[in-house]
Amino acid sequence: MSNDENIRNLGPLAALAGVWEGDAGLDISPSAERGVMETPFRERAVFEPIGQVDNHEQVLYGLRYATTAYRIGEADAFHEEVGYWLWDAGRDSEDGQVLRCFVVPRGVTILAGGSAAADAQTLSLSADVGSETYSVASNRFLDAEFKTVRYELEVNLETEGVFEYKEDTQLRVKDQSEIFHHRDSNRLTRAG
């Protein structure tokens, strides 16, 4: 199958194939003292089609991706992740699912998903700790100190050549009664 065919079969993810860059990022995270830290950042994300993935009766099309984020003015990355975005067209036009499965080198893995039409330009995905389908897993330290209990992602691809997202990683921070909303957002444009 040609690369063009693979991209056409990606449903709503077809618009993501390629290289994206943006410097309008904002990371709102727990500080070292477990307060709040706001970090402006720039980001580079690469999405490569992987073709058809047969999973018995299920057929997926996907993108392998890697993203790296840098604090504005710094050369060393402060965040990286690798994974896959997958499109499951389902058995009829109402069954479509978008999946994002990724790992962060702090010892966190997330499989998030949500329903979508093949021509959707906005996507909503989520994952909950303990779910048997779309779920979150963390290493022992993070589970005890900064437990991710829910992950939400909103993607907007309505403007051609623009990829916008808002993430809300909800954390139960040790010795804090309120859930901490670790938020990330950025507006990236097609670089190649």
- As a whole number of angstroms, the distance between CA 107 and CA 141 comes to 9
pLDDT of residue 35: 83
Q: What is the dihedral sign for C-alpha 7, 155, 153, 42?
A: positive
For residue 120, give the DSSP letter.
-
Across 107-122, average pLDDT = 96
pLDDT of residue 129: 97
pLDDT of residue 161: 95
pLDDT of residue 122: 98
CATH superfamily of 3-190: Calycin beta-barrel core domain (2.40.128.20)
Across 91-111, average pLDDT = 90
Q: What is the dihedral sign for C-alpha 119, 188, 133, 130?
A: negative
Helix (H, G, I), strand (E, B) or coil at 155: strand
pLDDT of residue 172: 96
| Per-residue pLDDT band at 8 (split at 50, 70, 90) | confident
Across 63-78, average pLDDT = 97
Residue ranges of E strands in 56-107: 58-71, 77-88, 97-104
- As a whole number of angstroms, the distance between CA 118 and CA 121 comes to 9
Q: Could you state, in order of their start, the residue ranges of all structural domains in the chain?
A: 3-190
Q: Please check the confidence at residue 34 and state whether its pLDDT lies above 60.
A: yes
Q: Please check the confidence at residue 165 and state whether its pLDDT lies above 60.
A: yes
Q: Please check the confidence at residue 43 and state whether its pLDDT lies above 80.
A: yes
Instruction: Tell me the pTM.
Output: 0.94
